[in-house]
Structure 1
Amino acid sequence: MNDQSEGVMEKVWNIFSSMKTGVFLLGVVAVVSGIGTLIPQEALDPKGAQSVSAIWKTLGFTHLYATIWFRLVLGLLCVNLIVCSVQRFSGIYRKTFKPNPPQSSKAIPQKIQAKISGPESELRAAVMKVLTGKGYRLTTSEQEGRWSFIAQKRRWGNWGSLLTHLAFVVLILGALVGSMIGFKGYFMAGVGDTLPIKQIEVSKGNVNENFSMKINSAEDRKLANGERDNWYTDMSIIESGKEVARQTLSVNHPFTYQGVTFYQANFAQGGKFTVDLKGQKIPVVLQDQGGNYFQVPGTDLYLFLSAMKADPKAPVVLYQVYQGNSPIKMGQMSLGQADNIDNTFTLTFDGMAGYTGLQVKKDPGVNVVWLGCALLMLGLILSFYWRPHTLSGIIETKKESSLLLGAVRGRLAVGTQEEFNQAVTDVEGLITAGSAGS
């Protein structure tokens, strides 16, 4: 039973350590993501997503990145990258920190190779002086009739590919954490409104927070020359009836509270009214062009702001009142004017009021994603701009001493040949100078 279990585990390990498995999973992700860019997503285009055929909806392509099967594919890709990284770790570690000098001339790289003759002691001294002077770190081995070495420069470049693989794992994990735990939503509210966060319109994820947002002010500020400055929203966070945080946010200047970030998305003009219902004065903020409505308590009367002249000094509004689905009154009001509506309530126009639109987002995986980006940049820098140079050589004493020297070519051999040729020239120069001096 144990042998069978070990055999199954070994097969699973071999599958996930295979480059073919990684390429296949990357291909699946690429193809599926490509289809997802063509099919409207519910979070971005709800109406377009509704028009998609039933088979695509059943397969989850209208909310592709939140489907369990797509996350499963990403998870399998993560496992593949992790297994490949674990399998390569020991080799990279030995290459970086415990390199083995060659034990025979057959272990010297053959594509880039040179042979230098001379006295053994002078060859050793020349190799040590030239390579240490060029910044190489030498590891040597000495046995009867043989002295060998391996020299490395920029050895941390060996870790570039491993860090790049791990970076993709971290990026995928960050995206999965953000999609599974976080949420994205939107709300529009007028000055004075208090809205529980659980009542916002959510396009992705679920809201578990319990605080409320109160809009203290919303402004569309203009510069002295008439150009727009920015949209500004003064917002408070309310918990258990108390203000626990307050900040003014604007475009490119969000407000974050307990991991939830509010972004200024848009702005609309609105009007402040007072509804006097049998002595009860109710403040009302309505959005221009019928963006929202107010139902008069205890009645089937609905109040809309149909149009507005947004003049700060002399604003004018056009309102409509519906009874059920039927319009019963339309009127125009200037600042401070009051109208009697159906002998039921009195409506007074109190002035302009901003109506702010805020995007709400919680992404606990964003820091993980930034970590993945940093690892990716570091891995790419090590892979392409800090490529390791590795030279190895062996001095064998037979009839005469000779140094067989070679360089690891690697996949990116730019500069390797030049570096090797210069080292050979310098060693030969020292040997020639020593022979002339003697």
Structure 2
Amino acid sequence: MRASQNLLSTVTDHFKSVRLTVALLLMLAGTSVLGTLIPQNKHAADYIQTFGEPLYRVFHILDLTDMYGSWWFVLLIILLTVNIVVCTVTRFRTTLKLSFGKGFKGFSSLPTLAKGTSPKSPGTLEETVQSALSARFATTRKVALPNGVAFDAEKGRWTRMGADVVHAGILILLAGALVGSLFGFDGAVNVPEGETVDTIILRNTNEKKPLGFSVRCNTFSISHYDTGSVKEYRSSLTVLENDKEVLTRDIIVNKPLTHNGVTFYQSSYGTMGAKDFSFAFMEKATGQTVTKAVDIGETVPFAPGKTFTFDRYASNHAFNGRSVGEAAIGTLTDNGSKTEVVLLSRFSNFDKMRKGDWILSIADHEHAYYTGLQVTYDPGVGLVYTGFILMIAGCFVAFFTGHKKIRVTLTPAALGSTVTVSGAAPKNKVWATRYARQLLNRLG
């Protein structure tokens, strides 16, 4: 029995060690640095291309490619949790007793902060002392002494719980992170305009994950700056449950949609081709324009002896090594002479560089887009926020508030009374000294 108790005591002493806390925090900080330097949850080909195959094999064996979900990282979190629990439990009973148990302890040994005399007798000063202390302290008492009387006052005993509140916040935060890691998911899905999905692809395993409801992309729109760079892309999404619409909302980057705890972020987009092209044919000499609808592979006449064949569509055409966006590539036939023409969607006057008699341009066309959504579910996020709030509150209590004790002793003197103000405010000694002097001046 004694051996069991000794073993338990040894284990407890080990887990309540501050050295263990520091060591665990340093290890977690080091692994977090690794997690920043090594991209997480990428494809094997990405790691091999960046680091080489031998180093990738080491990463894979040590779970460094999915570090935050690895067994050893979870073990570090569990050890830190046990360490904090043991530290808190071993001191909690004492802290609770000091914070909410019987008060007014240690007043007879408080250091003297100020001492003086008053022409008034102790009996006359009692009411003034009691009033002054009651105005600043919630708890006061009167104590009869052999050679006089003392008034004790204290407040803030509960502030000793600040460290325990911080510990509780850390534990709740860790619990939230663990819940999110075990029961949450992170994935992605591409949804074409007008189509509906009810599953996503998980990021780590590439497995399909049912959502429990459906999401439809109603429309997708994209706007550009004058330079041609993307300004904003926006998706209109509708959530359906049992084929009934329950929520419709537009999402853009940093403004997601959340339903049943599942959050959809606008992360990417892409085109699925283009359709319904129409082209403008303008005669340079007269300025007259003819507009014709042309399908890919179709040839249309637009002037005597002149035809245009729509050969193909390029979603991202390169001109002189630079991307110029969408383009329609076709063949202009002029009395048997054929010339390849490139017409750009974003630059309608691009064909002017050909210096022909006719200037061709894209008059109109429709896009078929898909929206790329990042989908996350983290059931522990509420616990994480609660933990952060408790940690901030506990730190405020621990560092900016404290237990304050004041004793005012009145003893008879030849010409009135001797007033002695003693006290302690470990976290605000300046306040204690200043308050003692102010109180002494008031009584004098």
TM-score interval, normalised by the smaller of the two chains: 0.5 to 0.7
2:275 equivalent to 1:260: no
Q: 1:318 to 1:122 in 2, by over 3 A?
A: farther
In structure 2, C-alpha distance between the alignment counterparts of 1:213 and 1:49, rounded to whole Å: 36
Q: For residues 311-355 of structure 1, what are the alpha-carbon distances to aligned partners after superposition, in whole Å with 9 as ceiling and x for unaligned?
A: xxxx86569xxxxxxxxxxx99999xxxxxxxxxxxxx9831222
- Pairing of 1:286-301 with structure 2 (within 5 A): none
Unmatched segments (≥5 aa) in structure 2: 277-311, 318-325, 331-340, 346-363
In structure 2, C-alpha distance between the alignment counterparts of 1:428 and 1:212, rounded to whole Å: 75
Look up the SS of the partner of 1:388 in the other structure.
coil
Q: 1:251 to 1:44 in 2, by over 3 A?
A: farther
Give the corresponding residue for 2:217: 215
Larger Rg: 2
In structure 2, C-alpha distance between the alignment counterparts of 1:184 and 1:305, rounded to whole Å: 35
2:406 equivalent to 1:392: yes
Unmatched segments (≥5 aa) in structure 1: 275-303, 310-314, 320-330, 336-348, 433-438
Instruction: Please state how far the C-alpha of 1:222 moved relative to its aligned partner.
Output: 6.1
Specify the code of the residue in structure 1 equivalent to 2:249: Q
2:60 equivalent to 1:57: yes
Specify the code of the residue in structure 2 equivalent to 1:363: D
Instruction: Please state how far the C-alpha of 1:396 moved relative to its aligned partner.
Output: 8.8
Give the corresponding residue for 1:289: none
In structure 1, C-alpha distance between the alignment counterparts of 2:206 and 2:79, rounded to whole Å: 22
Give the corresponding residue for 2:189: 187
Give the corresponding residue for 2:294: none
Is this contact kept in 2: 1:166–1:375, CA < 8 A? yes
Specify the code of the residue in structure 1 equivalent to 2:397: L
Look up the SS of the partner of 2:315 in the other structure.
strand
In structure 1, C-alpha distance between the alignment counterparts of 2:43 and 2:394, rounded to whole Å: 34
Give the corresponding residue for 2:24: 25
Specify the code of the residue in structure 2 equivalent to 1:70: F
Give the corresponding residue for 2:89: 86
Specify the code of the residue in structure 1 equivalent to 2:113: Q
Specify the code of the residue in structure 1 equivalent to 2:233: W
- Pairing of 1:201-280 with structure 2 (within 5 A): 201-203=202-204, 207=209, 209-221=211-223, 230-238=232-240, 243=245, 245-271=247-273
Specify the code of the residue in structure 1 equivalent to 2:366: G
TM-score (norm 2): 0.67
Q: For residues 351-401 of structure 1, what are the alpha-carbon distances to aligned partners after superposition, in whole Å with 9 as ceiling and x for unaligned?
A: 31222111111111111111122212222332344x225123374979998
In structure 2, C-alpha distance between the alignment counterparts of 1:318 and 1:136, rounded to whole Å: 86
Is this contact kept in 2: 1:152–1:388, CA < 8 A? no
RMSD: 4.1
Give the corresponding residue for 1:436: none
- Pairing of 1:38-437 with structure 2 (within 5 A): 38-43=37-42, 47-48=46-47, 51=51, 52-98=55-101, 100-102=103-105, 105=108, 107-108=109-110, 110=111, 113-116=113-116, 120-121=122-123, 124-133=126-135, 135-140=136-141, 142=143, 145=146, 150-155=152-157, 157-198=159-200, 200-203=201-204, 207=209, 209-221=211-223, 230-238=232-240, 243=245, 245-271=247-273, 306-307=314-315, 317=328, 351-385=366-400, 387-388=401-402, 390-393=404-407, 395=409, 405-410=421-426, 412-413=427-428, 416-427=429-440, 429-430=442-443, 432=444
In structure 2, C-alpha distance between the alignment counterparts of 1:423 and 1:44, rounded to whole Å: 69
In structure 1, C-alpha distance between the alignment counterparts of 2:117 and 2:257, rounded to whole Å: 72
In structure 2, C-alpha distance between the alignment counterparts of 1:181 and 1:154, rounded to whole Å: 41
**Greater strand share, structure number:** 2
Look up the SS of the partner of 1:230 in the other structure.
strand
Instruction: Please state how far the C-alpha of 1:155 moved relative to its aligned partner.
Output: 5.0
Look up the SS of the partner of 1:32 in the other structure.
helix
In structure 2, C-alpha distance between the alignment counterparts of 1:59 and 1:32, rounded to whole Å: 12
In structure 2, C-alpha distance between the alignment counterparts of 1:402 and 1:89, rounded to whole Å: 41
Instruction: Please state how far the C-alpha of 1:307 moved relative to its aligned partner.
Output: 2.6
Q: Which moved more, 1:44-53 or 1:177-186?
A: 44-53
Q: For residues 153-175 of structure 1, what are the alpha-carbon distances to aligned partners after superposition, in whole Å with 9 as ceiling and x for unaligned?
A: 45554333322222222222222
Specify the code of the residue in structure 2 equivalent to 1:192: G
Aligned length: 363
Is this contact kept in 1: 2:264–2:374, CA < 8 A? yes
Look up the SS of the partner of 1:197 in the other structure.
strand
Is this contact kept in 1: 2:134–2:140, CA < 8 A? no
